[in-house]
């Protein structure tokens, strides 16, 4: 008997970066009311799950990923009552809401940290990772922070260093302390009781550090110009075996609230990533799969190798997922190229597993250009090339000044991209051939066709060196997807499949019966083709 898939398996997740989505009160920053006002958009588009980057009270050293109180909402974004409204109104229109849970670190302005740093004997001292200086007075070990520099900050008052794997305003919690675990599980309960449908857990693979805090070894492959942190191999600061016990506990807690979803943010090679499903599939439902984000080149062979390797590595019964973009990486259009935006979108929305779509990617938004003096991102202040501001520019709703994100007289927190007059929801909604129309058509097909939302996956050999082709199949329904990653026309021959029916081309200009023994795709075209039932 085939199991009925869970909602999070058939859903498409849409990531909202709340600061940049919709400003409802004219302060230049997006907020919860803004999201509520746009709920109709998701129903129209065919999205069923929203994940919100953090909206908790925060000094915003890392734009909300530095949390000062886990059980409230930052006034910039609204109030707890607004969040309750969002959950209620979203549920009324069958949308699920996921929160970002950031358990690895708090803000240094969180009461827990204030207590912890007040003196060495404070009851919360051990809630964070404090160590004496090395014999030479320097940091206790050689670990580096993700935002540059070493990962330790010296506290004059108590004469010890505390660990911060990110910004120094983001001290790492000590997850080996059972009180920390309980306090954080209480946070999960707080939101689950309010009706939150699940969590995307920030840097879940970093939660536990080596018990002896040993030095990380040097990375022999690192060269000048590479990401500074990669100078060391994070053997002792990441992916420790004990983290799995913690994740199992989080999962048990979520499961006790019924069907909720646990998603882990994990940047690891595929074999290690797979361990986060848990030996008995009792850890993350979806360890985020960032294979496409790290891709060196967008060509058919690389993509096929990447998809096949991931599919093969999945443990039995584990549900796949695909991420094309997020708030930490250049937008897919800027990484893969404008020409490939549609092919990439067809790929994302036709592969097996839960897709995650980053706000604005449904339009083909590209990275914004941020003048040096306007850089906000802490990762970009010392290294402008590493700034994440370009992928966080305001959502482009229409052609009015500020693109409908903020009222016209307001200066948004980041500049609106200068292509907003044509690249926006209002214009693309009316255009039968737009990227937005393509996204919507793909989502509609994905929802209505069981082969797409729950079918098996099989890639096809020897199609052409620039095309990637695969078949999705469920209960006899078979769908072929062929994607041409080159600028040139390609004729393919799939003679054993005989004929098919084009349901959608990325150019949105052809449908109908075709002969698969001689089928021509235009440059950068993808086609979704119904095959006769098996
Ligand atoms: C990962 C988040 O996605 C990123 O935006 C943040 O800066 C770090 N974790 C630290 O929380």
- Ligand 1 midpoint to CA 91 (Å): 27
* Contacts with 43 (C-beta within 8 Å, 6 or more apart), sequence order: 93, 94, 95
Q: Which of 277, 245, 260 is nearest to 199 (CA)?
A: 260
The per-residue pLDDT for range 237-260, each reduced to its tens digit, is 999 999 999 999 999 999 999 999
**CATH number belonging to domain 300-320+343-355+430-534:** 2.60.40.1180
* Contacts with 504 (C-beta within 8 Å, 6 or more apart), sequence order: 346, 438, 441, 442, 445, 511, 527, 528
Q: Is 205 in the pocket of ligand 1 (CB under 6 A)?
A: no
Ligand 1 atom 4 nearest Cα: 328
* Banded model confidence at residue 27, pLDDT cuts 50, 70, 90: very high
According to DSSP H, which parts of 130-239 are helical? 178-193
- Ligand 1 midpoint to CA 515 (Å): 48
Q: Reply yes or no on whether the pLDDT at 1 is more than 70.
A: no
The per-residue pLDDT for range 154-167, each reduced to its tens digit, is 999 999 999 999 99
Which of 62, 106, 168, 207 has most ligand 1 atoms within 8 Å of its beta carbon, as the pocket-test mutant? 62
Tokens of 374: 């306007």
In this structure, CATH architecture of domain 111-163: Alpha-Beta Complex (3.90)
* Contacts with 224 (C-beta within 8 Å, 6 or more apart), sequence order: none
* Banded model confidence at residue 498, pLDDT cuts 50, 70, 90: confident
- Ligand 1 midpoint to CA 173 (Å): 15
| pTM of this structure | 0.97
Ligand 1 atom 5 nearest Cα: 328
Ligand 1 atom 6 nearest Cα: 65
Domain with CATH 2.60.40.1180 in the chain: 300-320+343-355+430-534
* Banded model confidence at residue 124, pLDDT cuts 50, 70, 90: very high
Please, what is the Cα angle at 130 between 128 and 134, to 5 degrees?
Answer: 155
Mean pLDDT value across residues 507-514: 96
Mean pLDDT value across residues 101-113: 98
In ligand 1, the atom with minimum distance to the C-alpha of 165 is: 10
Mean pLDDT value across residues 350-365: 98
- Ligand 1 midpoint to CA 65 (Å): 6
Q: Is 386 in the pocket of ligand 1 (CB under 6 A)?
A: no
The per-residue pLDDT for range 57-96, each reduced to its tens digit, is 999 999 999 999 999 999 999 999 999 999 999 999 999 9
pLDDT of residue 495: 81
Q: What is the mean pLDDT of the chain?
A: 96
Q: Is 449 in the pocket of ligand 1 (CB under 6 A)?
A: no
Give the Cβ contact number of residue 435 at 10 Å. 22
Domain with CATH 3.90.400.10 in the chain: 111-163
d(CA 84, CA 80): 6
pLDDT of residue 279: 96
The per-residue pLDDT for range 375-427, each reduced to its tens digit, is 999 999 878 999 999 999 999 999 999 999 999 999 999 999 999 999 999 99
Q: Which fold has domain 8-104+178-205+260-299+321-342+356-429?
A: TIM Barrel (3.20.20)
pLDDT of residue 451: 98
HEC readout, 432-490: CCCHHHHHHHHHHHHHHCHHHHHCEEEECCCCECCEEEEEEEECCEEEEEEEECCCCCE
Residues labelled as active-site residues? 202, 265
What proportion of the chain, given as a percentage, has pLDDT over 90? Answer: 94
Helix axes 341-350, 435-448, angle to 10 degrees: 10
Domain with CATH 3.20.20.80 in the chain: 8-104+178-205+260-299+321-342+356-429
pLDDT of residue 2: 59
């Amino acid at each position: 008997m085939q199991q009925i898939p869970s909602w999070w398996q058939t859903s498409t997740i849409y990531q909202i970066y709340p600061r940049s989505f919709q400003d409802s009160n004219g302060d230049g920053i997006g907020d919860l009311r803004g999201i509520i006002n746009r709920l109709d958009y998701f129903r129209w588009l065919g999205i069923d799950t929203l994940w919100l980057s953090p909206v908790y009270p925060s000094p915003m050293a890392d734009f909300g990923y530095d949390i000062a109180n886990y059980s409230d909402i930052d006034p910039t974004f609204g109030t707890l009552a607004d969040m309750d409204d969002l959950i209620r109104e979203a549920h009324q229109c069958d949308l699920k809401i996921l929160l970002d849970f950031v358990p690895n670190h708090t803000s240094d302005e969180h009461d827990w940290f204030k207590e912890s740093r007040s003196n060495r004997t404070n009851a919360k001292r051990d809630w964070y990772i404090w160590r004496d200086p090395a014999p030479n007075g320097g940091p206790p070990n050689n670990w580096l922070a993700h935002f540059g520099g070493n990962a330790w900050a010296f506290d004059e008052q108590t004469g010890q260093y505390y660990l911060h794997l990110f910004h120094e305003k983001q001290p790492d919690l000590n997850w080996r302390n059972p009180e920390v675990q309980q306090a954080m599980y209480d946070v999960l309960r707080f939101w689950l009781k309010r009706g939150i449908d699940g969590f995307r857990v920030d840097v879940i693979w970093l939660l536990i550090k080596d018990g002896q805090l040993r030095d990380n070894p040097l990375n022999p492959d690192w060269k000048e110009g590479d990401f500074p942190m990669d100078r060391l191999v994070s053997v002792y600061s990441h992916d420790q075996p004990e983290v799995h016990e913690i994740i199992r506990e989080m999962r048990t807690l979520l499961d006790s609230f019924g069907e909720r979803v646990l998603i882990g943010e994990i940047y690891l090679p595929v074999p290690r990533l797979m361990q986060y499903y848990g030996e008995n599939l009792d850890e993350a439902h979806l360890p985020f799969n960032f294979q496409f984000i790290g891709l060196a080149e967008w060509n058919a062979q690389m993509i096929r190798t990447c998809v096949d390797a991931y599919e093969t590595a999945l443990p039995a019964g584990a549900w796949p997922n695909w991420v094309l973009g997020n708030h930490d990486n250049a937008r897919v259009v800027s990484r893969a190229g404008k020409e490939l935006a549609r092919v990439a979108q067809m790929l994302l929305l036709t592969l097996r597993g839960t897709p995650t779509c980053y706000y604005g990617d449904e339009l083909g938004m590209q990275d914004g250009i941020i003048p040096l003096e306007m850089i906000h991102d802490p990762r970009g202040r010392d290294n402008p090339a590493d700034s994440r501001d370009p992928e966080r520019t305001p959502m482009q709703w229409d052609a009015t000044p500020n693109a409908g994100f903020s009222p016209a007289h307001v200066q948004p927190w980041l500049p609106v991209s200068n292509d907003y007059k044509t690249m926006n929801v209002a214009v693309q909604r009316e255009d039968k051939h737009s990227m937005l129309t393509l996204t919507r058509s793909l989502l509609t097909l994905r929802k209505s066709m069981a082969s797409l939302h729950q079918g098996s996956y099989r890639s096809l050999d020897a199609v052409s060196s620039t095309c990637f082709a695969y078949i999705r199949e469920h209960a006899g329904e078979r769908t072929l997807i062929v994607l041409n990653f080159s600028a040139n026309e390609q004729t393919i021959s799939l003679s054993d499949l005989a004929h098919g029916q084009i349901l959608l081309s990325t150019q949105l200009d052809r449908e109908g019966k075709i002969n698969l023994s001689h089928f021509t795709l235009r440059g950068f075209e993808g086609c979704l083709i119904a095959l006769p039932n098996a």
